[in-house]
């Protein structure tokens, strides 16, 4: 794995059906943000990005100065 200074963290989570329906409101977005922030420490590192949805991988992009993402998944 690359050194920490050459990487950044990208967290991928799923939404429940209720969250998906409510995400377009301020309260719904706030609820998802609060849940995800509370679960960051439980993220599981994904060593093989081919196991992830490639849209998620691409959405994470590349960081400044060509840093590479380290992917973590958060389960509901």
Can you give the pLDDT at residue 1? 45
- pLDDT below 50 — which residues of the chain? 1-3
Residues in CB range of 71: below 8 A, 6 or more apart:
10, 11, 12, 45, 46, 49, 52, 57, 60
- Alpha-carbon distance values, 13 to 5, 39, 58 (Å): 24, 10, 15
Can you give the pLDDT at residue 63? 67
């Amino acid at each position: 794995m690359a050194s920490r200074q050459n990487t950044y963290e990208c967290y991928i989570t799923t939404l429940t059906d209720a969250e998906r329906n409510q995400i377009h409101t301020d309260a719904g977005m706030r609820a998802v943000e609060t849940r995800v922030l509370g679960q960051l420490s439980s993220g599981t590192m994904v060593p093989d990005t081919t196991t992830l949805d490639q849209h998620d991988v691409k959405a994470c992009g590349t960081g400044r100065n060509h840093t590479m993402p380290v992917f973590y998944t958060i389960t509901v």
